[in-house]
Amino acid sequence: MRRVIHTLALTYSVLALISACTYEVVPEPQNCDDTPTLQLIEATDADCGLASGAVQVGVSGGVAPYTFSINGGAGQTEGTFSELSAGSHTITVEDANGCEGSLEVQIANRDGVNTTVAKVDASCGSTNGRIEVTTEGGAAPYQFRINDQPFQNSNLFSGLAPGEYEVVTQDANGCESVQTALLSSGVEFEAVETIVKNNCALSNCHDGTISPDFRTAVTIQDRAARIEARTASRSMPPASSGRELTDQQIQDIACWVGDGASIETNP
C-alpha cells in the first residue's frame, strides 16, 4: 500500500511540474558572432522613368556559400542586381549558418528628381509620426505619396503610426524616386526584457531549466518573432502560470519587434 501511495505522489509531483509551464521546445539558433557584412562595390544610376540602375556588392565574414537578395525578393548566389529604379534598395546576405547582414543602397536618377526623407518617429500605439521629403533636380512641380495612397502636392505626411513606409516622389516629367522610411516606436529593449523576465523566466519555466532560457537578452532577441506571436495569441505566458500580460505589454512587445528587435539602447 505504501508503494502505491508513493507512486501516486510521484505522479502528482510530475504533473504539477509540467502544468507550471506549458512550453514548446524551440531549436537553438545558430551562433552568429561572425555576421556577414556587405560592402558596396559599384552602383549605376537609373535613367528617368526606367529601371536601368544596377548595384554590385561584396561580402566579408560569415561562412560561405552566401545567398543574396534585394528588397525581400528571391535569393541568388551573386551579389549583382540590375533593372533597378531610382531610390533606396535594401540588399540582404545570408550565410551557410543562416546568419544575415544587410546594406541600404541609393540609386539616383540621372536626369530626374532625387530625394531624401526626414522623419519623426511615432510613439507605440499612436499616430504622431511624420515624414518630410526633400527634392533635388528633376522638373517641378512634384507630387508625393506614401504606400498605395494617392499622390498629393505636399511633401509632408503626418498622423503616421510606427512602421515602414514607401515614399514615392514624381516630377513633372514622370520621373520617380522611391525611398523607404521606418518610423520607430521608441520602445526600448529594457521594457520588453522586464516583461519577459517577470512573466516567463519563472521557476521551472524558461529560467534555465527549460529551453529557451529567457534570462538572457540574446535569447529574447533571437526569438523575438515567436515571442510576439505567442504573446499576441495570449499563449505566453501560459494560463497555467497564473500570469497574464496587459494589452499595453503585448503592444510594447509588438512595437519593439516592429522596430527591428534591437537590444541596443538608442542614444
pTM: 0.72
Q: Along the 267 residues of the chain, how does pLDDT read in single tens digits? A: 444 444 444 443 333 344 445 545 545 555 677 889 999 999 999 998 889 999 999 999 999 999 999 999 999 999 999 999 999 999 999 999 999 999 999 999 998 999 999 999 999 999 999 999 999 999 999 999 999 999 999 999 999 999 999 999 999 999 999 999 999 999 999 999 999 999 988 877 887 777 888 998 989 998 999 999 999 999 998 888 889 999 999 999 999 999 989 888 655
For residue 116, the model assigns a pLDDT of 95
CA distance 8 to 204: 21
What's the one-letter identity of residue 145? R
CA 30 to each of CA 25, 91, 98: distance values in angstroms, whole numbers, following the listed order: 15, 21, 7
- What angle (nearest 5°) sits at the alpha carbon of residue 51, between those of residues 47 and 57? 100
Backbone angles phi, psi at 226, to 5 degrees: -70, -40
Of the candidates 175, 174, 156, 153, the residue with the CA atom closest to the CA atom of residue 165: 156
CA distance 141 to 174: 11
Q: Which domains does the chain have, with CATH numbers?
A: 37-107 (2.60.40.1080), 114-183 (2.60.40.1080), 187-258 (no CATH)
For residue 79, the model assigns a pLDDT of 97
